[in-house]
Structure 1
Amino acid sequence: MKDLFDIRDRLALVTGSTRGLGNALARGLAERGARVILHGRRQEAADEAARTLAAETGAQVDAVAFDVTDAEAVKAATAALIERLGVPDILVNNAGLQKRAPFNDFDPADWDAVLATNLSSAFYVSRALSPAMSERGSGKIVNVGSVQSKLARETIVPYAASKGGVALLTQGMAADLARYGIQVNCLSPGYFQTDMNQALWQDADFNAWIEKRTPAQRWGQVEELVGTLVYLCSGASNFVSGQNVFVDGGMTSVV
């Protein structure tokens, strides 16, 4: 059973991983022996994050920088990555953006930015890497969703739309890629204390609402996502594909 969850020496690219949730996910993989590639928009920030993670975990950590919302940039960067490091065994599509405003006031440019970063990027990066994974006959792709893949809330319509799209993108990718030995699943966090959510968890009223709304009666800690991620990236999930796994303290199970 121990070998089922072994991800040692597997090459893992985690997008949007210089800080926050993505960095925590990358750290979780690195601490379990994966060779991790951190990603950011700026090479300097990615390199610095990689040095820090390598020093703190003793893992092999590399870094890449490209704009996940630019299909041509993704294609060029992933081709160079494969040439330099090989075909990733694991891809975690984590890059994300949040914008908040009432629906009637939402700027169309912000809508486009959220959809491009949260949804289109997962398509671009997966499409760039999946042919090589298919040729090899194996791969694990984990798209990061959200409780907003299933539930809506005021002021974040584009975010909910994008994360709902991620869930259906996951199913569509699974339908096409499972025959090539690639498992595609969605990891959907509930409310976690991250940089993106700082304004929320520092708000006393919202904090009280979360504690009441979540059966676990608390926010999640990013480390609590790692076990599910490792499962979805390991041999233990070789016959699991197209699933949306909620790690949310029970929030999506109750009214």
Structure 2
Amino acid sequence: MSAAKGLLRDKVVLITGAAQGIGRETAVLAAEQGADLILADRSEIVEETAQAAQAAAQAERRELSVATVLADLETWDGAQKTAAAAGDIDVCINAVGGTIWAKPYDLYEPERIDAEIRRSLFPTLWMCRAVLPRMKERGAGTIVNVSSVATRGVNRVPYSAAKGGVNALTASLAMESAPAGVRVVATAPGGTEAPARRIRRGPGAQTEQEKAWFSEVVAQTVESSYLKRYGTLAEQAWPLVLLASDVASYINGTVLPVGGGDQG
């Protein structure tokens, strides 16, 4: 998957949730594709992503400008800090999020519902708000949000609701911001194979019942994919980079499903 070259040449790209998973993979690919980077996360291992991006740029025989920002993007203060540190950017890719628990909705504790929404909606909501004024002032910019095909799925209704909010945010903000020259788009990843998370989203399944509920999520995710498998990190990163690039300049307000046929 390396045929394209220079899709993000001369672009300054801010990527949130860059320490691991889709965010990290997208950062490395963006470096290969010519971008300079600001990488944000609340974990210090985002520095390792910066190093991996440097190595990718060196392999392409180019110099890379890369900076990191440590911030809690579940908060407005964290989003403001990140936007201020990033300065003028061409692209903001919002990759923070991920389901924490898996269980039937009527068994979710209220505080866990709140936590799921704060994890998977507010970082995107806050970052869009934080970067938008400068993009509008400059008359250009692209925001690429990471949603999920799990807007339809079992045992994670709060997460589904949060990602449904990301979809609505993407569509409405695109309509509102287009006159100012700002595009807003999103991808909706399906199940994605990735290395074990070094920073866990939550405690994980503790009981046999919790393990069974999580297994139901996996089974439904695979079954909903026409290809009957999880995707790879590269298969998620490439659509994000494509939508961030000028190749996609006439795509706006769209949520692109990347779930092997699952439309979410």
Coarse TM-score class (shorter-chain normalised) = 0.7 to 0.9
Distance 1:213 1:129, change over 3 A: closer
Q: Distance in 1 between matches of 2:49 and 2:247?
A: 29
Deviation at 1:105, TM superposition (A): 2.2
Judged with a 3 Å threshold, the aligned counterparts in structure 2 of structure 1 residues 45 and 210 are, in CA distance, closer, same or farther, namely closer
C-alpha offsets along residues 21-43 of structure 1, whole Å, 9 cap, x if unaligned?
1101111211111112221113x
Bigger helix share: 1
Alignment of 1:101-250 (within 5 A): 101-149=103-151, 151-153=152-154, 155-194=155-194, 195=196, 210-250=221-261
Q: Which residue does the alignment assign to 2:18?
A: 17
For the Cα contact (< 8 Å) 1:4–1:234, is it kept in 2? no
Kindly tell me: are residues 4 and 182 of structure 1, through their superposed partners in 2, closer, same or farther at Cα, counting changes over 3 Å? farther
Indicate how the Cα distance of structure 1 residues 76 and 252 shifts in structure 2: closer, same or farther if over 3 A, else same: closer
Give the counterpart letter for 1:222 in structure 2. L
- Mapped to 1, the partners of 2:125 and 2:243 lie a distance apart of 19
Instruction: Give the aligned partner of residue 89 of structure 1.
Output: 90
Q: CA deviation at 1:56?
A: 4.0
SS at match of 1:246: strand
- Classify 1:166/1:204 alpha carbon distance in 2 versus 1 (closer, same or farther; 3 Å): closer
Do the aligned partners of 2:14 and 2:86 also contact (CA within 8 Å) in 1?
no
Q: Is the 8 A contact 1:18 1:46 kept in 2?
A: yes
2:28 counterpart residue number? 27
How far does residue 230 in structure 1 lie from its aligned partner after superposition? 2.2
Alpha-carbon distance between aligned partners in 1 of 2:139 and 2:237, rounded to the nearest angstrom: 25
Counterpart in the other structure of 2:208: none
How high is the TM-score relative to the length of structure 1? 0.85
Residues matched between the structures, number: 243
1:175-218 CA-to-partner distances (Å, cap 9, x unmatched) read 11111111101111111113469989xx8887665554422122
Q: CA deviation at 1:107?
A: 2.1
CA RMSD between the two structures:
2.7
Structure 1: stretches of 5+ with no match in the other structure: none
Contact 2:31 2:56 in 1 (8 A): no
Cα deviation for residue 97 of structure 1 reads 3.2
Supply the distance in 2 between the matched residues of 1:138 and 1:104 (Cα, whole angstroms).
44
- Amino acid in the other structure paired with 1:248: G
Instruction: Report SS of the residue matched to 1:185.
Output: strand
- My pick for the range that moved more, 97-106 or 114-123, is 97-106
Most deviating of 241-250 and 203-212: 203-212
Aligned equivalent of 1:72 = 77
**Gaps (5+ residues) in structure 2?**
59-63, 206-210
**How far apart are the structure 2 equivalents of 1:13 and 1:207?**
31
Moved more, 128-137 or 217-226: 217-226
Letter in structure 2 aligned against 1:8 = R
Note closer, same or farther for the CA distance 1:3–1:209 as it changes in structure 2 (3 Å cut): closer
- Counterpart-to-counterpart distance in 2, 1:175 and 1:147: 22
Q: Hey, what's the Cα distance between the residues in 2 that align with 1:227 and 1:62?
A: 22
